[in-house]
Chain A
Amino acid sequence: MSNPQQRKQMSVLDRAQRYLPQLVVAPPFLLLVFFVYGFIAWTGFISLTNSRMLPTFDFQGIQQYVRLLAMDRWNVAFHNLLIFGSLYILFSITIGCVLAVLLDQRIRAEGALRTIYLYPMAISFIVTGTAWKWILNPSLGIESYMQKLGWESFQFDWIVNRDMAIYVVVLAAVWQASGFVMALFLSALRTVDEDIIRAAHLDGASTTRIYFGIILPSLRPVFLSAFVILAHLSIKSFDLVVALTNGGPGYSSTLPANFMYEMAFRRNQIGLGAASAMMMLATVAAIIVPYLYSELRAKRHG
């Protein structure tokens, strides 16, 4: 170690070592820069052209966006996203949170119940859609079953009802995601400081009050995470609609993601499809960017 030449060699190696992490991150980082940000730029540019069947580079400004916002099909899709997104988030968080709190009461079969609540998250939206489509079909599904049992006035034909089809999508999506929210909350509940709860209990607070007054408020970050995850999932929702209602009846249950696919791959409206994809991205970014910003900032200070 005391040999000066050796030491010098070490420091050269050291310097190479110092930049090795950067060198290792560079390829995947550049890959993502190209395939995420480069592609976003490409799609953004195409949305400003009059591309139809093939991408062209005839710049025409915001024409496609003007067309998009004037299309009933797009407005239905966006309106559906608002309905779907808010109900999906609301019900998934409520159900997930309630189940987590109930499971937190030292339930003997907790492991088994947790497994049951969460398994839908492991299967694909296409399978979920297939299952619910079968259960909800009016001629052989739950509606006819109830009627045959003797409840003749029973009606549950939402899936073929123009005004209600989007709520069927909500139903299946909540079935799939609420167990995930339960898992998020349950793991957070397990980290709540026992001493505070014990102290509150000694002060005579009831279980309900301890939950509403102390525990749930302390889980605010989990509510936020759940909200952000579900919100961006709802904007990305595509497959479930394809398998469950295929956007129908008519286009009454399409979401923006389905609109984009329809325009880009079935109707030779690439420019319009690109514009709708940009709208989707903007909606996601409005939620994700502030979230990532605050998360990573908090981490640096913490």
Chain B
Amino acid sequence: MAEPKTLPGANGKRHLLGRLFIWTLLLAAAVLYLGPIYVVLSTSLKDLAEIRAGALLDLPHELNFTAWREAWSSACIGVRCEGLRPYFLNSVIMSVPSVAISTLIGALSGYALSLFRFRGANIIFALMLFGCFIPFQIVILPMAQTLGYLGIANSITGLIVVHTIYGISFTTLFFRNYYVSVPQELVRAATMDGAGFFRIFWHIMLPLSVPIIVVSVIWQFTQVWNEFLFGASFTSGGSQPVTVALNNLINSTTSVKQYNVDMAAALIAAAPTLVVYIIAGRFFVRGLTAGAVKG
């Protein structure tokens, strides 16, 4: 599988033109993918006069970090002028428990599901899996009411509950598919030795699970951090997550548009998931492709 390919296109000199063609396309694509982030970054470092001069694609004359400072701690979002910082912290407080709890539940239920050998086990799995695909518009109305009943409407706690519940479908899928591929002999041998469900889980499965835990944590973190619909529907004012605050900042029409502050704010909101992606991209890709159901 990991063997180097011996495809004819890889024969070097004979296909020099072909290689040139491939490289041109690949590099052109790279420029197109990097373009937006370059524009956003360079705009965030310019002052307003320079931006109004309309040199979108030019590098900034000098590196000016005032917009970053303002976006972080003093830009006005709604009536509060404290920048993105409080909302950024909201998102941190929201992500950590929802990622941890949904991963833990997913590991346990995924493990248990992987042991199911009775008829109908697939139906239970499919019913849980369907939760990955539903458009969340279908649940926001009853969820708004439920959060009200529970007294956690318009709170970060409410968002933690929501993200944990709807994360379970994904984390269960990850762990179930992972555990199904663990050799059954291992489990059988441990059962023969008298080890029970939880002991096998704790001593055999969990130590094997590091990669899939990383996949699950990264996936859930990216999902929860980037989520917008729940945040916009269930919170307002000071309890909003960073995506909602960013959108409010960008679409505020009250003051003179400070494009550099907007762009700095966008990068601040994107930074955590981007950093995770750059550090652990391999696991991120695995999460994405595991979402394709195929084991």
Contact = CB atoms under 8 A, between A and B. Distances in A.
A232 B3 CA distance: 35
A121 B165 CA distance: 23
A121 B288 contact: yes
A23 B218 CA distance: 28
Given A25-B112, A105-B10, A117 B126 contact: no
Interface bin, chain B: 35 or more
Nearest to A283: B135
Interface stretch (A59-67, A68-76, A85-93, A141-149): A141-149
Given A39-B139, A295-B294, A123 B54 contact: no
B141 A299 contact: no
A104 B269 contact: no
Contact of A246 (B105, B165, B196, B251): B251
Interface bin, chain A: 35 or more
Given A124-B273, A140-B51, A239-B229, A17 B251 contact: no
Nearest to B295: A299
Contact of A144 (B56, B126, B277): B56
Nearest to A149: B57
B76 interface: no
Given A21-B197, A242-B247, A261 B127 contact: no
A119 B277 contact: yes
Contact of A126 (B111, B136, B145, B269): B269
Contacts of B129: 292
Contacts of B225: 124
Interface in B237-295: 243, 246-247, 250-251, 259, 262-263, 266-267, 269-270, 273-274, 276-278, 281, 284-285, 288-289, 291-295
Contacts of A145: 54-57
Interface stretch (B32-40, B59-67, B207-215): B32-40
Nearest to A109: B26
A124 B226 contact: yes
Interface string A247-282: 000000000010011001100001001101110110
A12 interface: no
A164 interface: no
Interface in A186-214: 187, 190-191, 194, 197-198, 201, 206-207, 210
B55 to A, nearest CB: 7
Given A221-B294, A299-B295, A25 B139 contact: no
B34 A116 contact: yes
A126 B112 contact: no
B222 interface: yes
Interface stretch (B78-86, B92-100, B150-158, B166-174): B166-174
B252 to A, nearest CB: 12
A184 interface: yes
B140 interface: yes
Given A55-B145, A104-B5, A117 B250 contact: no
A107 B5 contact: no
B165 A194 contact: no
Given A179-B33, A261-B229, A127 B281 contact: no
Contacts of A24: 108-109, 111-112, 197
Interface in B219-242: 222, 225-229, 232-233
B269 A261 contact: no
A243 interface: yes
B43 interface: yes
A118 B281 contact: yes
B259 A236 contact: no
A127 B228 contact: no
Interface string A28-69: 110111011111101100100000000100000000000000
A99 interface: yes
A99 B33 CA distance: 12
A183 interface: yes
A83 interface: no
B291 to A, nearest CB: 7
B269 A106 contact: no
A130 interface: yes
Contact of B33 (A116, A122, A201): A116
Contacts of A82: none
Given A43-B139, A106-B5, A131-B39, A126 B228 contact: yes
Contact of B5 (A128, A184, A194): A194
- Sorted nearest first, the 7 A-B pairs with minimum C-beta distance are A124-B226, A122-B277, A21-B112, A239-B228, A225-B292, A24-B112, A145-B56
28 contacts: A13-B196, A20-B112, A21-B116, A24-B197, A31-B168, A32-B169, A46-B141, A95-B29, A98-B25, A104-B7, A119-B274, A121-B284, A125-B226, A127-B266, A127-B269, A127-B270, A128-B36, A144-B56, A197-B7, A210-B7, A236-B136, A238-B229, A260-B137, A264-B137, A264-B141, A280-B138, A281-B135, A288-B130
